[in-house]
Homo-oligomer: A and B are copies of this chain.
């Protein structure tokens, strides 16, 4: 399809990104956000930002991919009200305790003054949905009951906000499922983790590790929380989707029951899963970007191919004619832009590299003479000279391999970031050097809480949990207390 990006504001970011990602991740990311026009932080409520078109287009594509996968896995979409009565929250004690400090409350409406009950802007929808699940689920025939919604949630974050990474309003998908048995629920958690790998690693090129979170860091009200951490260039991890085994913790207070095959009433086993698309977008651009700007998976780029005419006096017409033909031809399959605006070819190269357009085609009079096009790939800067007759084939080939190439590069980088440590001091050094530490640990149940506090204080990182897919366990003792180690945990700084 031909793309018609009405007047992308190419003028504003005359200068590109100046900070180096390796040296100053934070400034680099801030420049990326503002110069690529991804978000505007000048909105006049703290912690709330505007998502600009270049980011929004990609986020919508990410939503589409995730929703398609959820539906393939038998989830049906629904749309819930975004307000939740305060009384719903109080039904599950741990949940309300966990979320109370983060809730925005609606207390007044119109000219009618105070409402009779405070209404929460949903920080998550368990307490809205499960009250309805009690109506919707009747018998074992209704199970498994799998639903999702794409929506925003609001959390009054105390931590520092940063566009896409952490904000007081963010955009996610939440899937909420009910099962007849605990085993079915556990299998759903496994499916959730598989979906996470399929989306984050395969589609969005973000390498992740799935951790079972320690008892003190799980979702309020869950039996267990399994969360994916991604490592950013900065040496800190970013929590990406998490899935929660809720057991019957919610089904009992919310009365989510079914009649089993023997006519007996039972409480459902539940799970919930919350991929935060806006945060995954932040993680993706932070992880894949380089000093020139954005790098995007091919499917997710708002513009996939940019055509840049090299105009020489007297040859403008022939060059532009060629460019327009090419635009028509490629637009049947890709999102293509012909940049025939004023400005030098060099500044256009620079601009569209910063925006992360995967393929650039340059066409000048010399190329036309030689019956060739110049193609440049954004992610590795490789330049190819392609005969006119081979162009379609070559573009298709690049399009097909582009995301895989990014993935290979990014997956390699990741393994290097883990450092095995046996002592607090070496762990501290590793964390200071921007690594993730793997070490022995006494327990991720509450009895390990004290050791985790020591790690936070003395090592400078957080215990992220134990790896879900780790079979062997290498460490004899806990890195803190020296007691027998029950598992390998990973320590990292986090956003």
In the complex, chain B residues whose CB is within 8 Å of the CB of A52:
78
Q: Are A141 and B11 in contact (CB under 8 A)?
A: yes
Contact with B along A112-149 (1 / 0, CB 8 A): 10000011010000001001100110110111111100
* Contact residues, A1-59 vs B (CB, 8 A): 4-7, 9, 11-12, 40, 42-45, 48-53, 56-57, 59
In the complex, chain B residues whose CB is within 8 Å of the CB of A4:
71-72, 74
Q: Are B50 and A169 in contact (CB under 8 A)?
A: no
In the complex, chain B residues whose CB is within 8 Å of the CB of A103:
109-110
In the complex, chain B residues whose CB is within 8 Å of the CB of A119:
45, 104
**A477 lies within 8 A of chain B by Cβ:** no
CA distance A9 to B48 in the complex (A): 40
**A410 lies within 8 A of chain B by Cβ:** no
Q: Smallest Cβ distance from A42 to chain B, in angstroms?
A: 6
Q: Are B53 and A77 in contact (CB under 8 A)?
A: yes
Copies of this chain, whole number: 2
Q: Are A145 and B7 in contact (CB under 8 A)?
A: yes
Q: Are B80 and A50 in contact (CB under 8 A)?
A: yes
Interface size class of A (residues with CB under 8 A): 35 or more
Q: Are A82 and B141 in contact (CB under 8 A)?
A: no
In the complex, chain B residues whose CB is within 8 Å of the CB of A74:
4, 6
Closest to A123 in B: B110
**A156 lies within 8 A of chain B by Cβ:** yes
Known: A141-B11, A144-B6. A56 touches B78 (CB 8 A): yes
**A494 lies within 8 A of chain B by Cβ:** no
Q: Which of B85, B107, B141, B145 contacts A108 (CB 8 A)?
A: B107
Known: A45-B85, A45-B119. A79 touches B56 (CB 8 A): yes
Known: A83-B48, A106-B106. A42 touches B132 (CB 8 A): yes
Q: Are B79 and A9 in contact (CB under 8 A)?
A: no
Q: Are B56 and A77 in contact (CB under 8 A)?
A: yes
Q: Are B105 and A101 in contact (CB under 8 A)?
A: no
**A69 lies within 8 A of chain B by Cβ:** no
Known: A82-B152, A141-B7. A107 touches B107 (CB 8 A): yes
In the complex, chain B residues whose CB is within 8 Å of the CB of A152:
82
Q: Are B109 and A106 in contact (CB under 8 A)?
A: no
Closest to A131 in B: B44
Q: Smallest Cβ distance from A357 to chain B, in angstroms?
A: 16
Q: Are B135 and A42 in contact (CB under 8 A)?
A: yes
Known: A6-B75, A6-B144. A88 touches B50 (CB 8 A): no
Q: Smallest Cβ distance from A326 to chain B, in angstroms?
A: 21
Q: Give 4 A-B pairs besides A51-B80, A56-B77, A106-B106 with Cβ atoms closer than 8 angstroms.
A: A42-B132, A51-B78, A82-B169, A112-B156
Interface residues of A (CB under 8 A from B): 4-7, 9, 11-12, 40, 42-45, 48-53, 56-57, 59-60, 71-72, 74-83, 85, 87-88, 100-112, 118-119, 121, 128, 131-132, 135-136, 138-139, 141-147, 152, 154, 156, 158, 169, 171
Q: Which 7 A-B pairs have the closest CB atoms?
A: A6-B74, A53-B76, A48-B81, A51-B79, A109-B156, A110-B156, A105-B108
30 A-B pairs, CB-CB below 8 angstroms?
Answer: A4-B71, A7-B143, A40-B132, A40-B135, A40-B136, A42-B132, A42-B135, A43-B80, A43-B132, A44-B85, A45-B81, A45-B83, A45-B85, A48-B81, A49-B81, A50-B79, A50-B80, A50-B132, A51-B78, A51-B79, A53-B76, A53-B147, A56-B78, A83-B169, A101-B110, A104-B108, A104-B119, A107-B107, A107-B108, A121-B121
